[in-house]
Amino acid sequence: MVAFSNLTRATKAHLCIHLDLRTLLCFRATSKDHLELATDEFKRSLLSLARRFIPRPEQLLAALDHTSGFIGGSVAVLFLLRDRSFIPRSLDVFIPRDAWWRFEAHLLHAQNASRVGMVLPTADGDEEDNDDILQQRGLVRIAVFRTHLGIVRLFRSVAPDALVPIARSWGTHLVAYVGPGHFGHGYATLFFQRRAVLGDLLRDEAERVRAYQRRGFDIRLSPTQWSDLRLQGCGEESWICPTQPRSFDDDGALSVRMRPLQTEALESEVVWRLGGRPCGGPCLEVTDELGMEPAHRVLRVLRY
């Protein structure tokens, strides 16, 4: 048997393609050379997923870097799972409130995309209702673009932080993001077990739940519905309490820098919680400001 240390760099790079995320992160921590190999593999994987939808994925990453945007949705889920267990329907891009026109120009000119319409989370109701629903999801607007390869959906955040609408996703599995400098997940323990807890469902979103169930996700209303997660005390210490305030850099989240030696830590000051579902612990008593907010309400954006 050939020792791993004696393998060529090209062979190691090929092996990286087949490693799950946990193993790849452990591998990159063993040496500076392995760190570079893992970084190259993260970029290769992201470009491969983006290439399904756009002709110039390298330019897309540059545009995300310039606008502090992130990829979310099914593409971010697949990037973190590191498999091809399902085919995503669209490339979902989340951008800060003030970066909308710059990123739309990138899609129209650099990716040769055409805008095919505006999408709201509901197909009926008056304009005021639709605006209300967008606000609940942390969004100002959603636009759909088409390239010759596929569909790109552009989500405009209500805040200067592109992660606000990701924090307001309808299920924990979608609190996932990936960009040119960072990637992570808000509910890492549940996610890598292919488990998800529901937040609030808006109209016309039930089919999305069924779609992820078909993709192999076990979706429940509460983490304690899984027998191995039933706790005697408060679930706050295990980061599974739906009511506790959460952030993208707390101990229950996964937060990874693509190039940890060159890149600063993720700067997101979004604080959210999944919903107001008391479990007997102190989560609802943190401050009066947090109180019984609507499900998936972003509690605070310090740089709003």
Output 295 or 201, whichever has higher pLDDT.
201
pLDDT at 234: 64
Given a cut of 50, whether residue 262 has pLDDT beyond it is yes
Beta carbons within 8 Å of 228's beta carbon, 6+ residues apart? none
Report whether pLDDT(48) > 90: yes
Which of 10-14, 130-134, 221-225, 288-292 is least confident? Answer: 288-292
pLDDT above 70: residue 194: yes
Identify the residue with better confidence: 162 or 222: 162
Q: Average model confidence (pLDDT) for the chain?
A: 85
Q: Predicted confidence band at 3 (pLDDT cuts at 50, 70, 90)?
A: low
Q: Assess whether pLDDT exceeds 90 at residue 44.
A: yes
CA distances from 208 to 96, 104, 189, 194, 203 (A): 25, 26, 22, 16, 11
| pLDDT confidence band for 201 (50 / 70 / 90) | confident
Looking at residues 250-266, what average pLDDT do you find? 92
* Average pLDDT of the segment spanning 208-223: 89
Residue 68 pLDDT level (bands cut at 50, 70, 90): very high
**What is the model's pTM?**
0.89
Q: Which residues are CB-contacts of 132 (< 8 A; sequence separation ≥ 6)?
A: none
Give CA–CA dist 286/280, Å, rounded.
13
Tell whether the torsion through CA atoms of 188, 190, 195 and 197 is positive or negative. Answer: negative
Given a cut of 60, is residue 123 above it in pLDDT?
no
How big is the chain, counted in residues? 304
In degrees and rounded to multiples of 5, residue 146 shows phi and psi of -125, 130
